[in-house]
Structure 1
Amino acid sequence: MQTVEYSLFRVKFIKPAQGSLFNQKANPQDLLIAAVMQKPSGELRAGYYWHIGNVQLFNNARGYFAIGRTTTSSIEKFDEASGNFIEEETEESPYTHCVFDASIGFIGIAKKSNLSQTTKGIANRLEELLSLTDGVIENSISVEVRPIPDPDGFLKAITEAYKVYSYTATFRGPNPFDADEHFQKPLAVYLSAANGQKGKATINGDDLNREVLTEVTRSTAATGNEAAARVQKSKKQKAITINLRGDPIKRRHDENEHNPEIVLNDLMNQYMRVRRNEAD
C-alpha cells in the first residue's frame, strides 16, 4: 500500500516587542490565513522558485495548501524533423501537501523526496515563503516553523526516575495560545520585552516536582521547543542527561484514499495527545 507520510510542525508569528497600533491588531490566526491565501512565491535558492498554491479553506481557521518548487532543466532529445540530437528546456514543479489549523498554529507537511530529503527541509522553505507575505513584512513579524516532537519517551523517563535534579527548556517569543503558565508564557513575554529571539532556562533541586515538569514538557513539545533533564534512574545509578528534541511526530495515510480533512483531524488528535495527554 502506497502511503503519504505527514509530519507535525508548529508555525509561529512572533511580534516585535515595540510595535505599532496595527501590530497589536494582528493575531497569529489571521496572519497565517492571510499569508496562505496570498500564495507567496520566491526564488529561495538560485534557480529554485518555491510557491504556495491550491489553497482550500475548510472553515475560517482550517485548510489545505500545496507547496512546491519550479526549476528549469535541459533534456536531450532526437528531433525527427532535422535528424539531429538537440537539447530542450523543460520545467519541473514537484509539490507536496500541507494541512493546517490556524486557531492553534500547527501545520502537517507531507514528505516529498523530490523537494527535500526531510520534511524539516520543506518546513524551512515554508518558513521563508511565509516571511515574504504582506502582513508579516508590514508588522515586522518573525516567522518560525518548528517540529513538534513526541514527548512520551522523555516524560516516561522523568516519571520513572528515582530523582530529577535539573530541568532545562528553551523558549521563544510570544505566540502560542496554549503555552503553560509556569514557564513558556512568562518567559516568552520576558524575551520579547528584552528584544531577544530565543533563550533557555534551567531549574535545579534535590528532586523536582514531576507534575510541574510534565506540564512544562507537554507545553514545550507542543510549542516546538526543546527540553533536557538531569535524572537518576535508580538509587544505585549515576545521574544522566535526557533530551526532548528531534524528529516531528509522523502519521501515514493511504495515498489512494488521501483526504486532507481526514488527515487534519488525525493530526489534531496527535497534537491534543501531546498537549493534554489524551489517548491515541
Structure 2
Amino acid sequence: MAVETVTFELFRLRLHEHFSLFPSQISRKAAILLAVNSATLLNYRDHEWRTADLTIIDDDGVYFTFGRKSSISVVEYDPSTGKFEDGLAENWPIVHIFLDARIGLVAISRNGRLSRGSETVANRLKDMLASFEAIRGFWDVDLKAIPDPEGFIEKLNQAFAIKKFSFEFWRPNPFDIDEDLQKPLEEYLLQAGGYKGEVEIEGVKLDPEIIEAQARSAIASSTETKALIQEEANGGTIAISSKDNKFETREISFDVANFDDLRRSLEVIREAYSNIRTG
C-alpha cells in the first residue's frame, strides 16, 4: 500500500447512561470495541454502511475503515452481442478512523465522495454504534466534533475583563473531566433524571486562569462554552462562543498496511487531544 496524506477531524464519543435498574455488565470501553469489531451493518435511507479493516493498535486504540455502498457507471464488453454495454458496479467510498475507546476520542478522515465534511459520516457511525445490542440497551450515544479551542481561549486571555462565563454539561461519561466542578454536576444531573444542564457565573472580573481550565475541559468534551468579555477598559462587552471556531483537524501521512505508521498516527491524534484538554 502507498503512503496517504489525509486530513482528520476530531470528535468526542460519549455514551450516556440510561436510567436503569440493571446497568451494563461491561464497561463503555468494552462495549465500544465490541461494536466496532462486530462489522455491524447499518441501513440508512437505502444505503448500506459498514466497518472493515479493523486493526487493534493497543489496549485502548484501534484503526478501521467505515464505508457506504454505492454504484458507479462502468462500460462492460458483452461477448454474446459483441458490443460494449453501459452497466453499474458496486463501489465503497470509505474513510479512515482512529478510535481511543478509553477517552472516547474519534478521528475521522475527510472524503468528499461521502460528504463535504466528516459530520455526516460521524452521524452514521453514531447510528451504527447506537444500534449495537451491547450499547442500545444501556447507553445513549453522542458523537460530536471538537472545536479548536485556541481562538476562544485567546480572546479570554486578551480581554480586559471576563464578565460572564457558562458551559454545558451532560450525563456522566468522560474520564478526564474537571473533578471539582464538572464531575459532581454530571452526577447530579444523572440522579435528578436530567439529560443536559448549563452553569453560568458572573462577576466584575473573573479569573482567566480558572475560566480557561474549565473551558478546556468543556470543549474537550465537545460541549459549548460561552463568555461575555470586555476587550478594553472603556469598551463595551461582546459575547463569544467555542462554536465560533472551526473544528479541530490534523493532517497525517501513513500507510494503512504499516502497523508502526498506524501506531504513530494514533499517538499524533492523542497528543492533539491532550493539547486541547490541557493547553
**Shorter-chain TM-score above 0.5:** yes
Which residue in the other structure is 1:37 paired with? Answer: 37
Structure 1: stretches of 5+ with no match in the other structure: none
Identity rate of aligned residues, in percent?
27
Aligned-residue offset at 1:108: 1.0
Deviations 1:95-133 (A, max 9, x none): 111111112110111111111110111111111111111
Root mean square deviation, CA, Å: 2.1
CA contact (8 A) 1:16 1:195 kept: no
Deviations 1:213-268 (A, max 9, x none): 11111101111111110000111211001111243211112356882221110011
Amino acid across the alignment from 1:273: N
Aligned-residue offset at 1:5: 0.6
Q: How does 1:60-71 map to 2 (within 5 A)?
A: 60-71=59-70
Pair 1:256–1:65, CA change in 2 (3 A)? closer
Matched, 1:14 2:12: no
CA contact (8 A) 2:57 2:262 kept: no
Amino acid across the alignment from 1:170: E
CA contact (8 A) 2:164 2:227 kept: yes
Distance 1:59 1:77 in 2: 45
How many pairs were matched up? 273
Distance 2:100 2:249 in 1: 17
Aligned-residue offset at 1:84: 5.5
Distance 2:96 2:236 in 1: 46
Amino acid across the alignment from 2:191: A
Amino acid across the alignment from 1:150: D
SS in 2 for 1:268: helix
Deviations 1:183-236 (A, max 9, x none): 421222222223333232211111112222111111011111111100001112
Which residue in the other structure is 1:227 paired with? Answer: 225
Deviations 1:80-101 (A, max 9, x none): 5325664533211111111111
Distance 2:69 2:121 in 1: 14
CA contact (8 A) 1:147 1:247 kept: no
Find 1:163's aligned residue among 161, 164, 177: 161
Q: How does 1:76-115 map to 2 (within 5 A)?
A: 79=78, 81-83=80-82, 86-115=85-114
Q: How does 1:232-247 map to 2 (within 5 A)?
A: 232-245=230-243, 246-247=245-246
Find 1:216's aligned residue among 209, 214, 217: 214
Matched, 1:248 2:247: yes
CA contact (8 A) 2:255 2:262 kept: no
Amino acid across the alignment from 2:87: E
Structure 2: stretches of 5+ with no match in the other structure: none
Distance 1:73 1:114 in 2: 12
SS in 2 for 1:53: strand
Q: TM-score by structure 1 length?
A: 0.90
Which residue in the other structure is 1:276 paired with? Answer: 278
Pair 1:83–1:60, CA change in 2 (3 A)? same
SS in 1 for 2:69: strand
Find 2:7's aligned residue among 5, 11, 21: 5
Bigger mean CA deviation after superposition, 248-257 or 35-44: 248-257
Which residue in the other structure is 1:147 paired with? Answer: 145
Aligned-residue offset at 1:181: 2.5
Which residue in the other structure is 1:193 paired with? Answer: 191
Amino acid across the alignment from 2:217: S
CA contact (8 A) 1:166 1:205 kept: yes
Aligned-residue offset at 1:57: 0.7
SS in 1 for 2:116: coil
SS in 2 for 1:34: helix
SS in 2 for 1:180: coil
Pair 1:160–1:145, CA change in 2 (3 A)? same
Aligned-residue offset at 1:32: 1.3
Aligned-residue offset at 1:76: 5.9
Amino acid across the alignment from 2:215: T
